[in-house]
Each structure stands twice: as structure tokens, then as C-alpha cells.
């Protein structure tokens, strides 16, 4: 059974330019999905709708078969999904450990260590870490939350090739081990190769591709 589903979803800005046209797509736990497409095709918009950052103009987003609008988008964001952004989006006055503790009641150090952040690094100011380390903290924050779905928007977009490769591996491996559903929006073909399933977004429609 799908954990997250977009059913007949359409989205337009100001009711004029329709970005997404009657899209239907399902996502399951334990799998990694990549959504590819040219710039401006609506990848990030779809991710925002799946994550409850915005509401579709038409159609529904279902979590475990229930419309997320019923319990409220804030509830969906808090309990069902976690985000990883291209620019990490960490709270700059918190340490890595505190950033992870922001959305989780679990002790942050074990998961940070599992992702390669040492105890010392976990207590430093988060901005003193490298880009790769900051993205590891962002991944740790997403994994530590009780959310079953992780939504990642260009998670390796700001990283060099080697680090991007490393981060992609960490994300897939950890999410798989924790039986989470990972949905990655990316331009990167390399990252898409690691996904279990790939979707293409073109001219407002979504098409299944090869993993």
C-alpha cells in the first residue's frame, strides 16, 4: 500500500499558468524515488504539495489513504514528512545535535555519528561545518524525525561530485535501513541512478522512467 499519494493533482499560479495537470502518483515506504525534469517544470512545486507546504489547486494529497488537508498541513509536516533542502536549511544558532533535536525526541548523537559527524563536531556551531557535513546534519534531522517520508529537494546540488556521491549513498542506505520513503527532486542523473524508481515531469504531466 502506498504511504503517500498524489491523486489527480493540478496546480497553477493565480489560476493562470498551470504547472501540474491532473497528476497521479504513489510512493511506498522502503523505496527511494527520483523526480527528474527540466527547470521550471514543477518538480519543487510537486514536492511542496507532497510535503504540505502548499495546497493543490485541484486534487488531493493522501497520506496512508487520508487527505492531508483533513488534519491540517502543519500536522502533516510535523508528523508525516521531513525535508532536506539544497541549501541545508539548518538553524544557524544551534549545534548539529540541537538541529537534529529540533524535530526529534530521540538522542541526536547516535544518528549523527552514524552519518559521520563526530561528538565534537556535533557540539560545534553548525555553520562551522563543511557543506557536506551540514547536509549530513540535515539528513540526520530528517531521519531522526518520526516521519515515514523524506522529501529531498536537490540534496546534492551544492556539493562537489565526490561529496554528492557520498551523501546520496548515506541517504539511500539510512532511509532503506529505517524503512523510510525517500522522494528526491534532482537534476542529477547520477543521483537518479541510485533511486529505486524514477519519474519524469514534463509539460505538467508525470511519467514513470527507469531506475
Partner 1 sequence: MNFSKRAFLYILRKKWITLGLFLLNFTVAVFLVSSFGVLNASKMLSKDIRTSLGAAFYIRAKTEISLNGSGETEVIKSGVNIAQSSIDEIMKIGEIACYNPVNYGFAKSDGIRFIPGEGHSPESDMGAVTALRFSALAPDFADKTIELTSGDHITGSDRGKILVSEQLASLNHLSVGDFVTLTHAKLGETDGEYVDEIPVKTAFVKVKVAGIYRLNAEDTAPKPTAGLAENVIYASIDVLNELKESEAGIYTGEVGFFIADPSELDEIIRQVESLKSIDWLAHFIRANDFQYSQIADDMIALGGLTKTLLVCVSAVGAAALVLILTLCVRGRMHEAGILLAAGISKREILAQFLLEALFLTVLALIFSHVVSLGVSGLLERGLFGETPELLSAKALNSGTDRGGYMKLGGEKILLIYLCQTVAVAASTILSSVAIMRLKPKEILSEMS
Residue 32 vs 145, nearer CB to partner 1: 145
Report DSSP letters for 27-40, one per residue: E-TT-EEEEE--TT
Task: Give yes or no for residue 158 binding partner 1 (CB under 8 A).
Answer: no
Task: Give yes or no for residue 64 binding partner 1 (CB under 8 A).
Answer: no
Task: Give yes or no for residue 125 binding partner 1 (CB under 8 A).
Answer: yes
Tell me the window of 33-41, 92-100, 113-121, 169-177 that interacts with partner 1 (CB under 8 A): 92-100
Binders of partner 1 among 179-198, rule CB under 8 A?
none
Among 70, 91, 123, 205, binds partner 1 (CB under 8 A): 91
Contact 46, 184 (CB under 8 A): no
Task: Give yes or no for residue 62 binding partner 1 (CB under 8 A).
Answer: no
Among 10, 67, 71, 94, binds partner 1 (CB under 8 A): 94
Q: Point out which residues pair with 82 in neighbouring strands.
A: 150
Task: Give yes or no for residue 103 binding partner 1 (CB under 8 A).
Answer: yes
> For 40-185, where are the alpha helices, taking DSSP H only?
43-51, 68-71, 73-79, 96-101, 108-114, 119-122, 131-144, 161-177
**Least distance CB 209 / partner 1 (angstroms):** 26
Tell me the window of 45-53, 115-123, 159-167, 183-191 that interacts with partner 1 (CB under 8 A): 45-53
How many residues sit in the footprint of partner 1 (CB under 8 A)?
31
Task: Give yes or no for residue 89 binding partner 1 (CB under 8 A).
Answer: yes
**Least distance CB 210 / partner 1 (angstroms):** 30
Task: Give yes or no for residue 79 binding partner 1 (CB under 8 A).
Answer: yes
Task: Please give the Cα distance from 49 to 52 (Å, whole number).
Answer: 5
Residues whose CB falls within 8 Å of the CB of residue 152, separated by 6 or more in sequence, listed in order: 83, 84, 85, 142, 171, 182, 183, 184, 185, 186
Residues whose CB falls within 8 Å of the CB of residue 89, separated by 6 or more in sequence, listed in order: 83, 138
Q: Which of 132, 129, 189 is nearest to 162 (CA)?
A: 132
Residue 80 vs 197, nearer CB to partner 1: 80
Q: How many beta carbons lie within 10 A of that of residue 135, not counting itself?
A: 30
Q: Which residues bind partner 1 (CB under 8 A)?
A: 45, 48, 51-54, 73-79, 82-83, 85-87, 89-94, 98, 101-103, 125, 141, 145
Amino acid at each position: 500500500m502506498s504511504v503517500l499519494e498524489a491523486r489527480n493533482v493540478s496546480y497553477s499560479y493565480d489560476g493562470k499558468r498551470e504547472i501540474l495537470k491532473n497528476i497521479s502518483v504513489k510512493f511506498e515506504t522502503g523505496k527511494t524515488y527520483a523526480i527528474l525534469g527540466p527547470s521550471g517544470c514543477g518538480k519543487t512545486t510537486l514536492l511542496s504539495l507532497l510535503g504540505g507546504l502548499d495546497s493543490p489547486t485541484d486534487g488531493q494529497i493522501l497520506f496512508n489513504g487520508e487527505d492531508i488537508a483533513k488534519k491540517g498541513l502543519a500536522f502533516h509536516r510535523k508528523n508525516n514528512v521531513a525535508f532536506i533542502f539544497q541549501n541545508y536549511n539548518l538553524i544557524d544558532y544551534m549545534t548539529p545535535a540541537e538541529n537534529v533535536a529540533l524535530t526529534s525526541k530521540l538522542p541526536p548523537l547516535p544518528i549523527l555519528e552514524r552519518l559521520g559527524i563526530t561528538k565534537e563536531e556535533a557540539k560545534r556551531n553548525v555553520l562551522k561545518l563543511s557543506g557536506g557535513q551540514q547536509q549530513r546534519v540535515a539528513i540526520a534531522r530528517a531521519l531522526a524525525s518520526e516521519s515515514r517520508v523524506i522529501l529531498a529537494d536537490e540534496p546534492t546540488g551544492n556539493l562537489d561530485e565526490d561529496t554528492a556521491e557520498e551523501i546520496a549513498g548515506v541517504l539511500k542506505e539510512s532511509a532503506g535501513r529505517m524503512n523510510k520513503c525517500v522522494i528526491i527532486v534532482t537534476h542529477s542523473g547520477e543521483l537518479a541512478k541510485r533511486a529505486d524508481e524514477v519519474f519524469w515531469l514534463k509539460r505538467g504531466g508525470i511519467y514513470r522512467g527507469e531506475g
